[in-house]
């Protein structure tokens, strides 16, 4: 079972969303908070994830297109090693 809430565009080209992914078979869940930014020929999506075991990750996908040139990135960081 998954549910997402789109907070909409809060600033030009920038939107926020949040959600939860819950498994009814084993009661595992993952909470999600993220943002998307989109321009004319560029964009990206960033997501913060945490689960019932307090495993935290950040992932970001971005892209840029200009004529025949296109570039895409996909980055994922484990945030458990960082302390604040």
Single pTM value for the model: 0.76
For 19-61, how does the pLDDT look when each residue is reduced to its tens digit (9 = 90+)?
A: 988 877 777 888 899 999 999 899 999 999 998 888 899 999 9
| DSSP codes of every residue in 21-78 | EE-TTT--EEEEEEEEEE-SSEEEEEEEEEETT--EEEEEEEEEEETTEEEEEEEEEE
Write down the domain spans for the chain. Answer: 2-81
Dist CA 49 CA 79 (whole Å): 9
Find tokens 């321009």 and name the residue. Answer: 39
């Amino acid at each position: 079972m998954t549910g997402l809430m789109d907070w909409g565009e809060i600033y030009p080209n920038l939107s926020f969303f949040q959600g939860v992914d819950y498994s009814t078979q084993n009661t595992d869940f993952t909470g999600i908070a993220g943002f998307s930014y989109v321009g004319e020929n560029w964009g990206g999506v960033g997501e913060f994830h945490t689960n019932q075991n307090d495993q935290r990750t950040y992932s970001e996908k971005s892209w840029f297109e200009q004529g025949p040139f296109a570039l895409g990135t996909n980055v994922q960081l484990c945030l458990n090693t960082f302390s604040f």
